[in-house]
Every structure is written in C-alpha cells, then in structure tokens.
C-alpha cells in the first residue's frame, strides 16, 4: 500500500512519519515513534490499554487511523509528565496507593482519570467507577485505582491544592 507522509503532534512535539492509510494510530505511536506507553491490548476498542488523549479527549489508539490524527494534538501518558521525568500528581497518587500491579493498563487508566478530573473537578467514587469502565484491569480489582483517583481529585479538584493539575 502506498505510504504518505503525515505530521503528528505528540506530546507537544511534531513528528513526520510515513504511514499507509490503514495504519492505526496505536501502531504508528508504538512501532514507528517508539512510544512504549501506548500498548496493544485487544484491537477492538474494549480494553483501553492504547488510550491516548486526542485534543484532550481520551480515545482508543487502536480504533483510530494515524491519518485521522493529523493536525490534532495527541497526548500519551508520558506527555503528562514534567521536565526531568517529574511525575504528574496523578501518577504520584497511583504510586502512593499501589494502584498498579502488572502496570500494563496503567497509562490508559491514568489518562482517562486525568480527563475525568479535569472535566468534573471532584467526581464521586461512583462517577470514577463509571468513567473507568473502558479501561480494563485484570490485576488490581480496581479498588486501589479508585483510591488513587479519589485522592488526586481531592488534591486537584475544587478546593484542592493549587498547582496539583500541573501541566
């Protein structure tokens, strides 16, 4: 299949990549741009391990073609981090609460939760549960993930610590 050059803006940097029209955004990010934090889990849009933010909205990278992302801002988990590998406050909550076991679902989980708190400020535990239904985890049983997101929302939401939603 003929390849064509597209310009992808990922984590505030522009990348020129040659893609075929059928290449998924997931495959281009993972295999072409070497972004190991965007992962293949099912290819059906069910598990959420390939979640990225597209212009700030969580989407499944496996269901999107790379060419569709042209001219839009793509953010992966590592795009949330600060200079010098500084963790985002939400990542720190995941770390503190033991919200990762195998870690495979973690990037997608963090991105979806980040988007939720940004939209809703201080979601209830039930709202967090509902927002995360598209990000499957087979290890943790979710309890510690919910704890982490709840803690972050308390820090970052209305009345929370200023600067907790860094970046």
Partner 1 sequence: MTVVEQPGQAQGERPGGGYRVVGTSPAHHDFVDKVKGSLHYAADWRLPGMLHARVVRGQVPSGRILSVDVAQARALPGVVAVITAADVPSNRIVEMASGGLAELEVAMPVLAVDRVRYLGEPVALIAAVTQQIADDAAELVTVDYDELPGVFDVHAALAAGAPKVHDAGNTLVTWEIGCGDAEAALAAADVVVAGEYTSQHVEHAYLEPEAGVGWVENGVVTLRVSTQVIEHAATIAGILGLPASKVRVIAAYMGGGFGGKEDMTVEPYLALLVWHTRRPVRMIWDRQESLLASTKRHPFVMRYRTGAASDGTITAQQVEILGDAGAYPYLSPRVLFAAAALACGPYRVPNATIAARAVFTNNVPASAFRGFGAMQVVFGYESQMDLIAGRLGLSRTQVRERNFLVKGDRLPTGDRLATCVEVSQSMHRALAMLGEPASPSGPGKRVGRGIGCNRHPYGRTIWFRDRASAWLSLQADGTLLIRSGITDLGAGQAASLCQIAAEVLGTPLDGISIYIGDSALNPPAGGTFATRQLYMSGNAVLAAARELRDRIAPVAAELLGVPAGDLVFADGAVRPAGPPPGGVSLTLAELAAACEQRGVHTAHLSIWRAEAGSFDPRTGQGDSFPDYTYGTHAAEVEVDVETGEVTVLRYAACHDVGRAINPMRVEGQIQGGAMQGLGYALTEDLGIEDGYVQSTLFANYLIPNSYDFPDVQVDIIESGEGKGPLGARGIGEPPIGNVAAAIASAVQDAIGSRPTRLPITPERVLALLDEQADAGAGHRG
Residue 23 and residue 33 in contact, taking contact as beta carbons nearer than 8 Å:
no
Report in angstroms how near the CB of residue 9 gets to partner 1 at its nearest: 19
Per CB under 8 A, contacts with partner 1 among 105-124 are: 105-107, 110
Pick 71 or 119: Cβ nearer partner 1:
119
Per CB under 8 A, contacts with partner 1 among 19-58 are: 20, 22, 30-31, 34, 36-37, 39-44, 46-47, 49
| Binding of partner 1 by 75 (CB under 8 A) | no
Phi and psi torsions of 98, nearest 5°? 65, 40
Alpha helices in 8-105 (DSSP H): 25-27, 89-97
| Binding of partner 1 by 130 (CB under 8 A) | yes
Phi and psi torsions of 153, nearest 5°? -60, -35
Tell me whether residue 154 is exposed, middle or buried, using C-beta atoms within 10 angstroms of its C-beta: 0 to 12, 13 to 18, 19 or more: middle
Residue 119 CA to residue 7 CA, distance in Å, equals 28
Report in angstroms how near the CB of residue 145 gets to partner 1 at its nearest: 7
Interface with partner 1 by CB under 8 A: which residues?
A: 1, 20, 22, 30-31, 34, 36-37, 39-44, 46-47, 49, 76-78, 81, 85, 87, 91, 94-96, 98-107, 110, 128-130, 132-146
């Amino acid at each position: 299949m003929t390849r064509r050059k597209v310009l992808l803006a990922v984590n505030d940097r522009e990348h020129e990549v040659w893609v075929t029209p059928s290449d998924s955004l997931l495959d281009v990010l993972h295999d072409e741009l070497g972004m190991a934090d965007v992962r293949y889990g099912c290819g059906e849009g069910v598990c959420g391990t390939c979640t990225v933010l597209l212009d700030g909205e969580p989407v499944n990278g496996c269901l999107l073609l790379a060419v569709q992302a042209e001219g839009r801002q793509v953010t992966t988990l590592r795009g949330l981090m600060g200079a010098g590998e500084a963790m985002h406050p939400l990542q720190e909550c995941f770390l503190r609460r033991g919200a990762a076991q195998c870690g495979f679902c973690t990037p997608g989980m963090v991105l979806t939760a980040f988007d939720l708190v940004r939209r809703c400020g201080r979601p209830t535990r039930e709202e967090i549960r509902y927002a995360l239904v598209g990000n499957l985890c087979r290890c943790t049983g979710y309890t510690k993930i919910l704890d982490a997101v709840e803690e972050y929302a308390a820090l970052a939401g209305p009345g929370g610590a200023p600067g907790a939603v860094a970046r």
